[in-house]
């Protein structure tokens, strides 16, 4: 019989239940895709009822397995989403999608009272993102959904709602509050004053650490953690040197937990922000839509050169191709990429007739992506003395990307990491003292250095 920590890792598309043994190995996993439903305005959103039923069913299935003893339970989930609950902790409203448009007239009204805009977003350490600034969803609810607002006792960020399904206890937690919510004043390290001015008490519960658990039936239940912050935990638990993590997927997010500088208006304009670690400390982050761009360009290149869409996986790093391209084509650099060019990859302006082969075009595409990535990562490095950069996710397996990144940051150690299920693992690790005596060793990060 194995002692386990159960983690629900809930993404927009994939819903997973995982179990980690005391050596932090995945010993059970199941995944589902739940269909979205329409909210009260006819827009797609998460089906909270179906999700809650699925959570409880999956937990009971795992609980019934005689080979496991559940010692702990935690949750990793996407952010920028509120669940509004009545006094009995039952949902009153749909889980409104953070991609909904924020009404222009309501935004004007907000900043007439709490602007100027630049100062507000500098204090809350976030770009202007509309509904993705989840605190503004509370403001929207107050003025656009008055009946729901009047009956709302608690507004919980999504990871904390997942925990509440099992504990019945409404909580809020640092990583959810701190990530582009426009709720946290980073200059004062407390909730921003506008929330109290608007009497939004439902959304400003005292924050708890992601490590704080509740005991129920001898099982330690965590409060849930924002998935981006969760992916950082395995590194914070094992690496003593200052580092930057580049977490790659659809978005490539550069994360620096050692940069305490105040954000500048220019950095905010370049999609830079601060969020809070599981310890409640400031973390600097910047992001690029590189994974999405890679998927788009691969389709284009594969069609143009008449190869399969997974052909790029067979293309290794060839420095001779790099040298040829540098001699014959004008190259993007981090310096000329940084000034307002981070949102569009330089490759979109290139003519494919310039390239003799898929290999040559693909090398140039990755060179352009890396120029963007270096500029984006430098934004989070700032004046901090970064000694190591870790790359996990899809691009960590790309030898061209990794080799060029190592060349660009030649004074910093560059590592590809093969952490499996990083956000779920982080959720297990952050409460590990409640369910195992074993330490998570750096060897489990499976680091591969590039030169």
Quick check: 239 pLDDT over 90? yes
CATH T-level fold of 2-228: Nucleotidyltransferase; domain 5 (3.30.420)
Mean residue pLDDT of the chain comes to: 94
Does residue 439 have a pLDDT over 70? yes
H-assigned helices in 198-289: 227-230, 233-236, 265-269
What is the model's pLDDT at position 341?
Answer: 54
152-174 mean pLDDT: 97
Residue 120 and residue 182 in contact, taking contact as beta carbons nearer than 8 Å: yes
Given pLDDT bands bounded at 50, 70 and 90, which one contains residue 373? very high
Q: From start to end of 235-325, where are the E strands? A: 243-248, 252-256, 272-276, 282-288
According to the model, what pLDDT value does residue 13 have? 84
Q: What is the mean pLDDT of residues 209-235?
A: 95
Q: What is the mean pLDDT of residues 227-256?
A: 92
In tens, the pLDDT along 139-151 reads 999 999 999 999 9
pLDDT of amino acid 337: 64
pLDDT tens-place string over residues 393-424: 889 999 999 999 999 999 999 999 988 888 99
Please say if the pLDDT value at position 157 is more than 70: yes
Mean pLDDT, rounded, for 283-300: 94
Average pLDDT over residues 118-127: 92
Residue from 426, 420, 444 nearest 279 by CA: 426
d(CA 428, CA 446): 18
pLDDT of 54: 98
CB 175 within 8 A of CB 230: yes
CA dihedral sign of residues 394, 399, 401, 405: positive
CATH number of this structure's domain 231-417: 3.30.420.40
pLDDT-based confidence at residue 92 (cuts at 50, 70, 90): very high
CB neighbour burial string for 267-304, b if at least 16 within 10 angstroms, e if fewer: bbebbbbbbbbbebebbbbbbbbbbebbeebbeebbee
Give percent above pLDDT 90 in the chain: 86
Domains 2-228 and 231-417 share a fold: yes
Q: What's the pLDDT at 342?
A: 66
Q: Which residues pair with 288 in a beta bridge?
A: 252
- For 345-354, what is each residue's pLDDT tens digit? 999 999 999 9
Q: What is the pLDDT of residues 23-71, one digit of tens each?
A: 999 999 999 999 999 999 999 999 999 999 999 999 999 999 999 999 9
Domain positions in the chain are: 2-228, 231-417
Tokens of 354: 């310039």
Q: Which of 7-11, 243-247, 268-272, 375-379 has the lowest mean pLDDT?
A: 268-272
pLDDT at 410: 96
Residue 340 has pLDDT above 70, yes or no: no
């Amino acid at each position: 019989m194995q002692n386990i920590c159960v983690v629900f890792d809930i993404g927009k598309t994939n819903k997973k239940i995982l179990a980690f043994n005391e050596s932090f190995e995945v010993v059970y996993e199941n995944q589902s895709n739940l269909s979205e439903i329409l909210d009260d305005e006819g827009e797609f959103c998460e089906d909270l009822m179906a999700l809650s039923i699925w959570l409880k069913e999956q937990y009971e299935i795992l609980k019934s397995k005689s080979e496991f003893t559940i010692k702990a339970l935690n949750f990793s989930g996407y952010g920028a989403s509120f669940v509004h609950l009545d006094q009995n902790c039952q949902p009153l409203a749909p889980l409104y999608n953070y991609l909904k448009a924020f009404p222009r007239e309501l935004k004007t009204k907000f900043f007439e009272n709490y602007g100027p805009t630049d100062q507000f977003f500098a204090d809350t350490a976030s770009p202007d993102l509309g509904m993705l600034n989840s605190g503004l969803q509370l403001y929207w609810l107050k003025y656009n959904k008055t009946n729901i607002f009047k009956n709302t006792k608690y507004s919980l960020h999504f990871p904390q709602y997942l925990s509440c399904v099992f504990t019945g206890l409404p909580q809020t937690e640092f990583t959810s509050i701190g990530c582009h919510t426009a709720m946290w004043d980073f200059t004062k390290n407390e909730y921003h004053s506008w929330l109290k001015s608007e009497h939004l008490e439902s959304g400003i519960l005292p924050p708890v650490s992601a490590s704080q658990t509740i005991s129920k039936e001898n099982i330690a239940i965590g409060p849930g953690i924002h998935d981006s912050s969760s992916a950082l935990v395995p590194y914070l638990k094992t690496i003593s040197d200052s580092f930057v993590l580049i977490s790659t997927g659809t978005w490539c997010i550069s994360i620096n937990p050692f940069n305490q500088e105040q954000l500048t208006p220019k950095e905010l304009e370049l999609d830079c922000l601060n969020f809070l670690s599981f310890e409640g400390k400031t973390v600097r982050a910047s992001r690029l839509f590189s994974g999405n761009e890679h998927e788009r360009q691969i389709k284009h290149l594969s069609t143009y050169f008449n190869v399969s869409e997974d052909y790029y996986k067979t293309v290794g790093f060839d420095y001779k191709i790099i040298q040829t391209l540098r001699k014959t084509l004008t190259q993007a650099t981090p310096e000329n990429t940084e000034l307002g060019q981070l949102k569009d990859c330089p490759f979109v302006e290139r003519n494919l007739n310039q390239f003799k082969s898929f290999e040559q075009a693909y090398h140039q595409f990755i060179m352009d992506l890396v120029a963007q990535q270096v500029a984006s990562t430098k934004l989070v490095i700032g004046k901090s003395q970064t000694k190591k950069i870790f790359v996990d996710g899809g691009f960590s397996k790309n030898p061209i990307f990794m080799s060029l990144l190592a060349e660009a940051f030649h004074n910093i150690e560059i590592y590809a990491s093969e952490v499996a299920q990083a956000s779920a693992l982080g959720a297990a690790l952050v409460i590990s003292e409640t369910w195992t005596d074993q330490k998570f060793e750096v060897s489990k990060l499976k680091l591969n250095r590039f030169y």
